[in-house]
Amino acid sequence: LGYELMAVPGGRDAGTRAFNTLVPVVGPLFHRRERLAEVKAPVLLVWGEKEDTLPLSLAEEAARRFPQARLVRVDAGHSPHQEHPERVLPELKTFLDEGLTPREEPRG
């Protein structure tokens, strides 16, 4: 990920700094996890089960910590929305149209 953000000619300093604020490229990942319970809005987490940059365990932990979270696991890598839009878009539409019923989606 660090390579993707910084390997472009001229670099992507602003993008790297912004991303590093949320999830540092180095150091402990998910360093703001203790504050997730403060988020009052419903949260939809869409995560690739084959994600190798940010493991599924981080999404599972986040889903437990957010007061209103729904985790959708997709048989995909880092970009489930691009790899399987037919799976992700209906979930997103439902989330936006109807709100959230706190639960976790089954694998698949």
The number of C-alpha atoms within 13 Å of 34 and in the hemisphere containing its C-beta is 2
**Pair (72, 87) in one structural domain:** yes
Determine the Cα–Cα distance for residues 99 and 43; give it in Å rounded to an integer.
9
pLDDT for 89: 96
DSSP bridge partners of 38: none
Name the 3-class secondary structure at 88: helix
**Pair (87, 57) in one structural domain:** yes
How many other β-carbons are positioned within 10 Å of the β-carbon of residue 51? Answer: 19
In this structure, which amino acid lies at residue 30?
F
The model carries a pTM of: 0.65
Domain extent at residue 70: 36-100
Per-residue pLDDT tens over the stretch 75-100 = 999 899 999 999 999 999 999 987 64
Per-residue pLDDT tens over the stretch 21-65 = 766 655 555 556 777 898 889 999 999 999 887 889 889 988 999
Determine the Cα–Cα distance for residues 59 and 80; give it in Å rounded to an integer.
13
Per-residue pLDDT tens over the stretch 3-25 = 555 565 655 677 666 766 766 65
For residue 77, being part of any structural domain is answered with: yes
pLDDT for 78: 87
